[in-house]
């Protein structure tokens, strides 16, 4: 029994020395948990504090203005536009300038004065089920509070003076899987692509075959391309499998174009491979490559909008999201899958990914050449 404990102790000591003896390993062990705690504390919030919305007041009465003032003064909603007609709602939600569109129906005040149900319609962006569902709940609560206060101020006894009628676009039933599964196309693909790319060189270094590769006629750039393309192909296969599960198992209807989807995936994978090659170039072994991938992937996932709306993050964190390729991948897959977006609508995200790929791939190539020298 004592011998067993001693052998276990020796193994634990050896592993700790292997990790702590290297400066890069020490940094990856101690610094990332602190950063991740900070990111979780600030970014991982499901409370909505500033929901952009647009208002369409078809009644133009004192009661409707009082209700709108109640929304604006609640501290939850930020009015980004006051609309004149219903046709202006679609561009606001489609272009993601607003999460909600609140429509005060005609005869709102007259219905209240007659102790009848006064209707308010709430149209939400169903591409993000958490935000849409929570925001609709906020509107319903505010409407109920307004109804109670209005009854008290006007001496009315109607139990329910205001009724909210809600609709969600692109996700009628607000099913979470409709929002989550398309997002996983980019998330899982990036994770696996980065892991494979980061470990490709590290694995050969550990096995001792990397030196054999260096004496071949291959140039460093050719070696880098030969390492990157197989990982991109694997990523496309993984994306296809997720797409098939979404359509054949979960029966989530695909509204967009497969050509546009795969065009954006290739662009996204090019940016991801650049990051993976950078990790591979600075990693001496598979352990460092794996830790480096996890260190980068966790902040990428938290700052991608996968589970937490980016609009709710602090301004400084929102700036960091612009350098996150996963942010654009999730946004594009949601728009293509649920909305049927075209290239014109996706052009800002596509240009952003091109910029990231143009920055990461040359840096990775430079690091790769210097490590081979």
Amino acid 88: pLDDT: 93
Cα(135)–Cα(221) distance, integer angstroms? 50
Would you tell me the crossing angle of helices 286-302 and 176-207 to the nearest 10 degrees? 160
Q: Which residues of 200-210 are buried (b: 16+ CB within 10 A; e: fewer)?
A: bbbbbbeeeee
In terms of DSSP bridges, do strands 51-57 and 118-125 run parallel, antiparallel, or are they unpaired?
A: unpaired
DSSP state of 58: S
And the tokens for 303?
Answer: 């700052």
Amino acid 14: pLDDT: 54
CATH class of the domain defined by 51-169: alpha beta
Q: Give the residue among 205, 173, 350, 346 at the shortest CA–CA distance from 282.
A: 205
Cα–chain center distance at 80: 22
Beta bridge partners of 57: 104
How many Å from the N-terminal Cα to the C-terminal Cα in the chain?
Answer: 51
Beta bridge partners of 211: none
**Cβ atoms of 261 and 333 closer than 8 Å:** yes
Cα(55)–Cα(268) distance, integer angstroms? 36
What does the CA dihedral 254, 260, 264, 269 come to, rounded to 10 degrees?
A: 80
Amino acid 98: pLDDT: 92
| Segment-wise mean pLDDT, segments of 10 residues, the chain, 373 residues | 65 60 64 63 64 93 92 90 92 90 91 82 86 86 83 66 72 77 84 78 68 63 73 82 85 91 93 85 79 87 84 86 92 91 92 90 76 57
User: Is 51 in a helix, a strand, or coil?
Assistant: strand
Q: Tokens 């009848």 correspond to what residue?
A: 116
Amino acid 277: pLDDT: 81
Domain ranges of the chain: 51-169, 176-372
């Amino acid at each position: 029994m004592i011998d067993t404990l001693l052998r276990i102790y020796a193994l634990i000591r050896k592993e700790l020395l292997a990790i702590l003896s290297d400066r890069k390993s020490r940094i990856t062990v101690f610094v990332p948990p602190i950063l991740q705690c900070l990111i979780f504390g600030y970014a991982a919030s499901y409370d909505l504090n500033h929901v952009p919305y647009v208002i369409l007041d078809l009644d133009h009465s004192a009661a409707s203005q009082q209700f709108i003032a109640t929304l604006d003064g609640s501290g939850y909603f930020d009015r980004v536009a006051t609309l004149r007609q219903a046709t202006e709602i679609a561009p606001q939600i489609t272009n993601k300038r607003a999460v909600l569109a609140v429509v005060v129906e005609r005869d709102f005040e007259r219905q209240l004065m007659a102790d009848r149900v006064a209707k308010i319609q709430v149209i939400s962006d169903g591409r993000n089920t958490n935000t849409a569902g929570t925001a609709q709940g906020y509107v319903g609560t505010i409407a109920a509070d307004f109804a109670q206060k209005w009854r008290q101020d006007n001496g009315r006894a109607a139990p329910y003076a205001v009724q909210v009628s809600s609709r969600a676009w692109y996700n009628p039933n607000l099913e979470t899987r409709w929002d989550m599964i398309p997002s996983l196309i980019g998330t899982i693909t990036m994770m696996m692509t980065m892991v494979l790319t980061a470990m490709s060189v590290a694995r050969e270094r550990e096995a001792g075959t990397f030196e054999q590769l260096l004496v071949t006629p291959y140039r460093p750039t050719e070696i880098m391309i030969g390492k990157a393309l197989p990982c991109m192909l694997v990523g496309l296969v993984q994306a296809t499998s997720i797409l098939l599960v979404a359509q054949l198992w979960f029966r989530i209807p695909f509204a967009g174009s497969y050509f546009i989807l795969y065009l954006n995936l290739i662009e996204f994978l090019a940016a991801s491979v650049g990051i993976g090659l950078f990790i591979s170039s600075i990693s001496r072994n598979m352990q460092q490559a794996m830790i480096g991938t996890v260190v980068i992937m966790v902040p990428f996932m938290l700052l991608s909008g996968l589970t937490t709306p980016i609009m709710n993050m602090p301004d400084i964190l929102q700036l960091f999201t612009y350098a996150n390729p996963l942010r654009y991948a999730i946004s594009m897959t949601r728009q293509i899958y649920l909305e049927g977006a075209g290239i014109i609508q996706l052009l800002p995200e596509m240009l952003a990914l091109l910029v990231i790929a143009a920055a990461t791939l040359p840096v990775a190539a430079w690091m790769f050449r210097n490590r081979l020298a």
